[in-house]
């Protein structure tokens, strides 16, 4: 049983209200930070914790904070990225729905550390119910003196607002998010300058994911060094994993980083194995953008070591035989799933969500979708696989923001690991529209677990 730092009280009835949250030790981090620490000391604790951005890129949060420019007389902003849209990821929705005050508390501490007087939580527009939940929580916190003027008599002022997006995946990219918050189309900005120098309204700005901000609360409560003791190597602390697809028990799980992937996938405490007694074919470990791995490579590295749920272990082998932690969007594919169809589906997603600013992404995602569509529907050619790899290479690294890479990687990795399944779609076009290729050699090498004994 791993430690729970974020979701420890998630099942307490009424934890979404201020009073219950407070009775469980909530807002202690605000009191500790504002009354006993300086802003720089808060930044220092976060640096010591080794916390890495939980939105996908994994950049150290404390370091990001320390880059913030602090010119005299210029406002600084903290913006929380709650534009959760990465297919496979739903942890931020969960956190905001059930324990909204954890995010509010983290926002107050982080805003204090950065010297922000106004902060925004940019929530994807589709999450209107969560927007209403957050607005209610903010009103409660304000009524209790944790927001507004002179918080807890410390002289620190903070206003916190919720901003709805408009339904665009691209706004999860931090500069697109800032454009959107300024009331514009979500076209990512050319960097540098980075938001730490010129962000919202041209002012120094930090943009952090919901989970990263929430993690600041236990870091301040327990101290950065204590937090860093959890986890393994440079993957410190706990991480929320959104488990979906064909796992037996989908949901959001908080794990200590470094948990063996076998435990995460098969233990009844977490995913509980594959649904309906089927076998595992493939896994997307960190949201749709990261490379897909066949079951055998996911469970064990090329060297034969069992993989761990950590930034380093998941990326072991590079893109040849590894993947990425990403945002923690864990998608399991059972033996009945078609890799070609799923790759086409993801390509359609990126084509739909490309903002259209850079030609390689705007045009390339469309071509990949079309070629994959013809492969899936039995009209593909043997040359299509090389064509797809070629297109993906011409997108990757040639765009302003990482959406281009995110579109290229799933296609390139699917062909790298499942080329025979793509080829089968070409040679057996008609058959491929009626049945799936099956497990082939990708199968998870583990024996089927014994059926659980009947309850007595």
Partner 1 sequence: MLRVEDLQTTSVEFSAGLIAKFDDVVSRYPEGKQKSALLPILHLVQAEFGWVSPNAMEKVADYLSIQHVEVFEVATFYTMYLLKPQGKYFLEVCRTGPCCLVGAEKIMDYIEQKLGVKEGEVTADGLFSWRGVECLAACGFGPVLQISPEYTFYENLTPEKVDKLVADLTAQAKN
Binding site for partner 1 (CB under 8 A): 75, 84-90, 92-93, 118, 120, 124-129, 159, 161, 163-169, 180-186, 201, 242-246, 250-252, 288, 329, 331, 333-334, 337, 341-342, 345-346, 349, 352-353, 355
* Tokens 């037996």 sit on residue: 248
Of 124 and 425, the one with the shorter C-beta distance to partner 1 is 124
CB of 398 to partner 1, least distance (A): 22
**Tokens (6 digits) for 410:** 């799933």
CB of 227 to partner 1, least distance (A): 27
Of 165 and 364, the one with the shorter C-beta distance to partner 1 is 165
| Spatial distance between the Cα atoms of 188 and 250, rounded to a whole number of angstroms | 33
**Tokens (6 digits) for 259:** 């948990």
CB of 69 to partner 1, least distance (A): 18
Of 67 and 161, the one with the shorter C-beta distance to partner 1 is 161
Of 311 and 349, the one with the shorter C-beta distance to partner 1 is 349
Of 353 and 384, the one with the shorter C-beta distance to partner 1 is 353
**Tokens (6 digits) for 74:** 């210029």
| Spatial distance between the Cα atoms of 247 and 241, rounded to a whole number of angstroms | 13
Of 214 and 243, the one with the shorter C-beta distance to partner 1 is 243
CB of 250 to partner 1, least distance (A): 4
| Spatial distance between the Cα atoms of 125 and 146, rounded to a whole number of angstroms | 26
CB of 90 to partner 1, least distance (A): 5
CB of 337 to partner 1, least distance (A): 6
Element (H, E) at 104: helix 100-114
What is the torsional sign of CA 371, 373, 374, 376? Answer: positive
Of 94 and 156, the one with the shorter C-beta distance to partner 1 is 94
Q: Do the bridges between strand 329-334 and strand 238-245 make them parallel or antiparallel, or are there none, so unpaired?
A: parallel
For residue 329, give the nearest of 250, 238, 417 by alpha carbon: 250
| Spatial distance between the Cα atoms of 19 and 144, rounded to a whole number of angstroms | 10
CB of 228 to partner 1, least distance (A): 29
| Spatial distance between the Cα atoms of 104 and 160, rounded to a whole number of angstroms | 8
**Tokens (6 digits) for 70:** 């602090």
| Spatial distance between the Cα atoms of 306 and 264, rounded to a whole number of angstroms | 12
Of 227 and 346, the one with the shorter C-beta distance to partner 1 is 346
For residue 170, give the nearest of 289, 88, 60 by alpha carbon: 289
| Spatial distance between the Cα atoms of 349 and 234, rounded to a whole number of angstroms | 32
CB of 406 to partner 1, least distance (A): 13
| Spatial distance between the Cα atoms of 241 and 221, rounded to a whole number of angstroms | 23
CB of 199 to partner 1, least distance (A): 13
| Spatial distance between the Cα atoms of 47 and 63, rounded to a whole number of angstroms | 6
CB of 267 to partner 1, least distance (A): 17
| Spatial distance between the Cα atoms of 271 and 22, rounded to a whole number of angstroms | 31
Of 151 and 243, the one with the shorter C-beta distance to partner 1 is 243
Of 362 and 394, the one with the shorter C-beta distance to partner 1 is 362
Burial of residue 353 (number of CB atoms within 10 Å: 0-12, 13-18, 19+): buried
| Spatial distance between the Cα atoms of 403 and 186, rounded to a whole number of angstroms | 12
């Amino acid at each position: 049983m791993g430690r729970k730092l974020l979701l420890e009280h998630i099942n307490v009835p009424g934890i979404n209200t201020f009073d219950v949250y407070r009775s469980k030790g909530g807002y202690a981090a605000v009191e500790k930070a504002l009354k006993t620490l300086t802003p720089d000391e808060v930044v220092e604790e976060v640096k010591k914790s080794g916390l890495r951005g939980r939105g996908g890129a994994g950049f150290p949060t404390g370091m990001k904070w320390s880059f913030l420019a602090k010119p005299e007389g210029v406002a600084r902003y903290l913006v929380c990225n709650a534009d959760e849209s990465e297919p496979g990821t739903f942890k931020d929705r969960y956190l905001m729905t059930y324990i909204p005050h954890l995010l509010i508390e983290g926002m107050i501490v982080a805003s204090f550390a950065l010297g922000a007087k106004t902060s925004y939580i940019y929530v994807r527009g589709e999450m209107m119910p969560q927007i209403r939940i957050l607005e209610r929580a903010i009103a409660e916190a304000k009524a209790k003196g944790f927001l507004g003027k002179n918080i807890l008599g410390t002289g620190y002022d903070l206003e916190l607002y919720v901003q709805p997006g408009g339904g665009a995946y691209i706004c999860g990219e931090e500069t697109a998010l800032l454009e959107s918050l300024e009331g514009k189309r979500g076209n990512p900005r050319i960097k540098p300058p980075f938001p730490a120098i010129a962000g919202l309204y041209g002012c120094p700005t930090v943009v952090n994911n919901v989970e990263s901000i929430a993690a600041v609360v236990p870091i301040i409560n327990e101290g950065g060094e204590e937090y860093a003791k959890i986890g393994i190597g440079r993957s410190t602390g706990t991480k929320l994993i959104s488990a979906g697809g064909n796992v037996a028990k989908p949901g959001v799980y908080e794990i200590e980083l470094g948990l063996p992937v076998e435990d995460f996938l098969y233990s009844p405490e977490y995913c509980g194995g594959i649904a309906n007694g089927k076998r595992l074919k493939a896994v997307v470990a960190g949201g749709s953008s990261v490379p897909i791995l066949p079951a055998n490579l996911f469970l064990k590295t090329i060297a034969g070591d069992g993989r761990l749920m950590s930034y380093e272990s998941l990326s072991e082998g590079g893109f040849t035989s590894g993947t990425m932690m990403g945002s923690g969007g864990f998608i399991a594919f059972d033996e009945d799933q078609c890799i070609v169809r799923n790759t086409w589906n993801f390509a359609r997603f990126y084509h739909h969500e490309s903002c259209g600013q850079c030609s390689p992404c705007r045009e390339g995602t469309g071509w990949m979708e079309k070629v994959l569509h013809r492969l899936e529907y039995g009209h593909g050619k043997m040359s299509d696989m090389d064509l797809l790899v070629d297109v993906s290479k011409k997108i990757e690294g040639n765009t302003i923001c990482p959406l281009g890479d995110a579109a290229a990687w799933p296609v390139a990795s699917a062909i790298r690991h499942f080329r025979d399944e793509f080829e089968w779609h070409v040679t057996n076009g008609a058959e491929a529209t009626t049945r799936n290729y099956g497990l082939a050699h990708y199968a998870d090498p583990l024996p089927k677990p014994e059926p659980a004994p009947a309850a007595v």
